[in-house]
Amino acid sequence: MAMVRLPVASSLPSRDSDMTKAAEEKKGQEEVAPAPLAHDEPPAQVPADPAAAAPRIRLPRVESLTGLRWWAAFFVFAHHMTNLAPLPIHKFLKYGTSGVTFFFVLSGFVLTWSARPQTKVGTFYRRRFARIWPAHAVALLVAVFVFYRFDPDPTMSWIKPFEIGVLLLTLVLLQGWSNDPTVLYAGNPASWTLSVEAFFYAYFPFVWRATQRLKLAGGLILCVAVVVIGGAYKLILFHNPGVVPVLPQPVLHSVAFLFGIGLAIALRSGWRPWIPFPVAFAIFSVGIYTLYYSGVHAKTFPLATTMGLTQKEILTVLYGVLILAVASRDLRGGRSWLRSKPLVALGQWSYSFYLVHATILYAIKEFHGVAGPIGWANLTWYAGVLVLSIFASWLLYKFVEHPLERRLRGPR
């Protein structure tokens, strides 16, 4: 999807956006680059109040977000690789799980940025299903052979006993509503984030209706409000164990999704803050290193406990700054290496990459074991597994994800 732990760790990109077909591009607004689960088609749109449908405004694409999406997926990959080939910085790389927070923020941003009042709710749901489910189903089928056995070896903690009921739950993306790790990370462990995304999709049309008239102030207030409420809940829960209920993952991660919606509302209003990407990246780097440092020195670092409890909310803001800087630069017409063809291609495959890389990693681990002691020499394993995972993600994208999405999306 903090992130998951595949049997031992877990996770990856959410994601979202849909490819604009030439005919539709002529009719409506241009879209932003695909969100977490997208390739290069604009996200499906949701309906709004008919009165708000006019006039249509052409919004430019924010294609650098596609390249940025790849780096978030790579951060997740780097974390999961510590289970096979640990590096000296493996403790820091655990924050790679935060890549899912990036994808949740991006999902809310892209869906809102490209939302069209004329699209019916049913059409929106159908397109979302077409976007995520085909690749998920195929990746799940493959993952079952890696993560399940009728008589699992107890020394391989990531392999679980075959249980058809739990697997069916993951097939329909309902596993995210359980906080039991054996259910939450069942099937393809990475797919828990899809269960969270499915919840976002379910309520997005209604949030869009309620917020489409908001402008800059309203969008920023929404961002601040969800972060404050989310952080306050974590602190109250910590100080009142057994009294305050523990909410399921889809609800907890809604902070990131709603924050992304707020950012998109602000930018749709015409706001174009000038935040140089190097500055935004520096803010993100200092922020995430501070989270890491405070965790390692929890006894001496001021507010370490508070930072640990509100980590997801802090990460939501940090990733929001990155998205805001990249989107603003594209909207102002600035140049961006994130729009290069290789990065755009990798970004388009990032959903499939997210679904398959952990399965490949753990299959190798079962037959080879851990690569060796902690050391920089393990970078060769990173390179090898990365190349294999990228190739597998291209296959899944080219022969399953992309063609089946186009077929299932239905008529425009």
- Quick check: 29 pLDDT over 60? no
**Per-residue tokens: 282:** 């520096």
Least confident of 305-319, 341-355, 365-379, 398-412: 398-412
- Quick check: 50 pLDDT over 50? no
Q: Looking at residue 118, what is its pLDDT?
A: 86
Residues with Cβ within 8 Å of residue 241, at least 6 apart in sequence: none
**Per-residue tokens: 217:** 């102030």
Instruction: Indicate the burial class of 195 (C-beta count within 10 angstroms; 0-12, 13-18, 19 or more).
Output: buried
Q: Give me the phi and psi of 153, to 5 degrees please.
A: -75, 120
Interior angle at CA 18, CA 13 and CA 22, nearest 5 = 155
Q: Looking at residue 27, what is its pLDDT?
A: 37
Which position has the token pair 């995210």? 176
Q: Looking at residue 16, what is its pLDDT?
A: 42
- Quick check: 18 pLDDT over 80? no
Cβ atoms within 10 Å, residue 270: 9
- Quick check: 70 pLDDT over 60? yes
Give which of 412, 359, 367 is closest to 388, Cα–Cα: 359
Least confident of 28-42, 127-141, 238-252, 302-316: 28-42
- Quick check: 296 pLDDT over 80? yes
Once rounded to an integer, what is the mean pLDDT over residues 315-323? Answer: 98
Residue 273 banded pLDDT, cuts 50, 70, 90: very high
Percent of the chain with pLDDT over 70: 85
Q: Looking at residue 290, what is its pLDDT?
A: 97
Q: Looking at residue 175, what is its pLDDT?
A: 97
For residue 251, what are the β-bridge partners? Answer: none
Higher pLDDT, 262 or 12: 262
Q: Looking at residue 410, what is its pLDDT?
A: 73
Q: Looking at residue 12, what is its pLDDT?
A: 42
Higher pLDDT, 365 or 3: 365
Once rounded to an integer, what is the mean pLDDT over residues 13-39? Answer: 36
- Quick check: 57 pLDDT over 80? no
Q: Looking at residue 242, what is its pLDDT?
A: 87
H or E element that contains 149: strand 148-149
- Quick check: 55 pLDDT over 80? no
**Per-residue tokens: 194:** 């899809």
Once rounded to an integer, what is the mean pLDDT over residues 37-48? Answer: 37
Average pLDDT, the chain: 87
Residues with Cβ within 8 Å of residue 12, at least 6 apart in sequence: 1, 3, 4, 73, 76, 99, 100, 103, 190, 193, 354, 355, 357, 358
Once rounded to an integer, what is the mean pLDDT over residues 384-408? Answer: 97
Q: What is the pTM of this model?
A: 0.87
Once rounded to an integer, what is the mean pLDDT over residues 329-340? Answer: 90
How does DSSP classify residue 374?
Answer: S
Taking the mean position of all CA atoms in its chain, how far away is CA 289? 21
Cβ atoms within 10 Å, residue 362: 22
Give which of 99, 96, 91, 103 is closest to 80, Cα–Cα: 96
Once rounded to an integer, what is the mean pLDDT over residues 67-83? Answer: 97
Once rounded to an integer, what is the mean pLDDT over residues 177-196? Answer: 96
